[in-house]
Amino acid sequence: MIYLDYQATTPLAPEVAAAMRSWNEEKFANPHSPSKWGSEAAAAIEVARKQVGQAIGLEGGSVAFTGSATEAINWAIKGAIEKAAPGRNRIVTVATEHAAVLDTCEWLEKRGVEVTYLPVKNDGLLDLEELKAALDKRVALVAVMLVNNEIGVIQPVAEVARLAHEVGAVMLCDSVQALGRVEIPQGPDLVAVSAHKIHGPKGVGTLWMRKGAEPAPLIHGGGQEQGLRSGTLSPALCVGFGAAAKLASEKMAPDKAHIEMLWSAALAALGDGWSINGSVDQRYRGNLNIRRESIDAVRLIGEMRDIAFSLGSACASGSGRPSHVLRAIGLSDREARSSIRLGFGRYTTEEELVGAIRRINEAAEAQERFAA
Ligand code: PLP
């Protein structure tokens, strides 16, 4: 199989598997118990916390482990609203956010919170003037992602944070697709990330919280994670996340060079007939979301079961609905249904990528001949 779905998830790094092994196979202590073994597990979690914090790279805050980035985002949004001063009952976000943000906002909307979903330009980028116009002193939270999971575009998060702070709002940045790939700019108060997008294990995420901006708890119980997020932590998952984060920091420059090489090779192999969805310049280039007039992307994916790639997004792929992101950048349903996403990264070889693209091209041309 050729794996070209790096936005959906990434292969576990061998270094991460090795770091997790003894915590999976031998050591089983509860990291919150005071025994010698418990203390050893707690110490390993603290090392991991530091490694994840260093990879996020922001000053003046702390890292809380969660079960996923989805949980971190739910916590950040619901907890920020609960903690907001009286009269602050608005959220400003963007139409192209991940479902974890949009669905949480929708849930709150049904409970009386006012939510503004800002549109994006045709290149997928937010218009800062529109953001400015949407902000006022009633806004509790501004939620804008750094790298889009479907089209890879990079939002101006530092500016967004500055504007949010001008009206006294907290800024949440979903940095799931950015960690280890694009530097997270200073500014956000809350940052959500996930281990499995950086060659770590599934089932563990993090909410980075600026001191003073910690959201009210979402999950109540034993008071683990600074009294803010209850539940026994998994040493294996936390250690795996830490190892993946350390590796991501160390490999950021070589990974970026590798991605640039793959991007150029992919464009050369694609040739004419394809258009790129979303900004080419303000983009993480391990995401190639492309469309070709009159092809049926679902059929294309079905015809190539040994190449893993996606429709606009992994979530949209399952639902049969055209992606909300592709619609937000102005594509018709037809164009959205003619779009595919190729995601590549650290372990993708040029040979694999070019070979897969040649086959995708052949299949697309065959569809065109059939339709003609
Ligand atoms: N945000 C973005 C941008 C994502 O791509 C994803 C995963 O697809 C998530 C949030 C949710 O992450 P997790 O799988 O850890 O819940």
What pLDDT, on a 0 to 100 scale, did the predictor assign at position 318?
57
What pLDDT, on a 0 to 100 scale, did the predictor assign at position 294?
82
Is residue 173 part of the annotated active site? The answer reads no
What pLDDT, on a 0 to 100 scale, did the predictor assign at position 320?
63
DSSP character at residue 254: H
Mean pLDDT of 168-194: 98
What's the 84 CA to ligand 1 centre distance in angstroms? Answer: 25
Q: What percent of the chain has pLDDT over 90?
A: 94
What pLDDT, on a 0 to 100 scale, did the predictor assign at position 89?
97
What pLDDT, on a 0 to 100 scale, did the predictor assign at position 28?
95
Mean pLDDT of 45-56: 98
> Ligand 1: does its nearest atom lie under 6 Å from the Cβ of 176?
yes
DSSP character at residue 278: S
Residue 10: both structure tokens together:
């990434």
Residue 150 one-letter amino acid: E
What's the 2 CA to ligand 1 centre distance in angstroms? Answer: 22
**What secondary structure does DSSP assign to 298-354, as a single string?**
HHHHHH-TTEE-BSS-HHHHHH-SPPHHHHHTT--HHHHTTEEEEE--TT--HHHHH
> Ligand 1: does its nearest atom lie under 6 Å from the Cβ of 68?
yes
Half-sphere exposure at residue 314, Cβ-oriented, CA atoms within 13 angstroms: 13
d(CA 240, CA 212): 28
What's the 176 CA to ligand 1 centre distance in angstroms? Answer: 6
What pLDDT, on a 0 to 100 scale, did the predictor assign at position 371?
78
Strands 275-276 and 287-291: antiparallel
Query: 78-117: per-residue pLDDT in tens?
Result: 999 999 999 999 999 999 999 999 999 999 999 999 999 9
Question: Which residue is associated with the tokens 């049926």?
Answer: 296
Query: 198-225: per-residue pLDDT in tens?
Result: 999 999 999 999 999 999 999 999 999 9
CB within 8 Å of 230: residues ≥ 6 apart: 217, 219, 220, 221, 222, 223, 224
> Ligand 1: does its nearest atom lie under 6 Å from the Cβ of 102?
no
Mean pLDDT of 144-164: 98
Q: Are 225 and 207 in contact (CB under 8 A)?
A: no
Query: 323-333: per-residue pLDDT in tens?
Result: 999 999 999 99
Q: Residue 196 CA: which ligand 1 atom is closest?
A: 15
What pLDDT, on a 0 to 100 scale, did the predictor assign at position 312?
62
Give me Rg for the CA atoms of the chain. Answer: 21
Q: Residue 145 CA: which ligand 1 atom is closest?
A: 3
> Ligand 1: does its nearest atom lie under 6 Å from the Cβ of 93?
no
> Ligand 1: does its nearest atom lie under 6 Å from the Cβ of 310?
no
Query: 244-254: per-residue pLDDT in tens?
Result: 999 999 999 99
Query: 300-359: per-residue pLDDT in tens?
Result: 999 999 999 998 644 555 566 789 999 999 999 999 999 999 999 999 999 999 999 999
Q: Residue 147 CA: which ligand 1 atom is closest?
A: 3
What is the rounded average pLDDT for all residues in the chain? Answer: 96
Look up the pTM and report it: 0.97
What's the 231 CA to ligand 1 centre distance in angstroms? Answer: 21
Q: Is the pLDDT of residue 236 over 80?
A: yes
What pLDDT, on a 0 to 100 scale, did the predictor assign at position 52?
98
What pLDDT, on a 0 to 100 scale, did the predictor assign at position 319?
60
> Ligand 1: does its nearest atom lie under 6 Å from the Cβ of 97?
no
d(CA 36, CA 123): 55
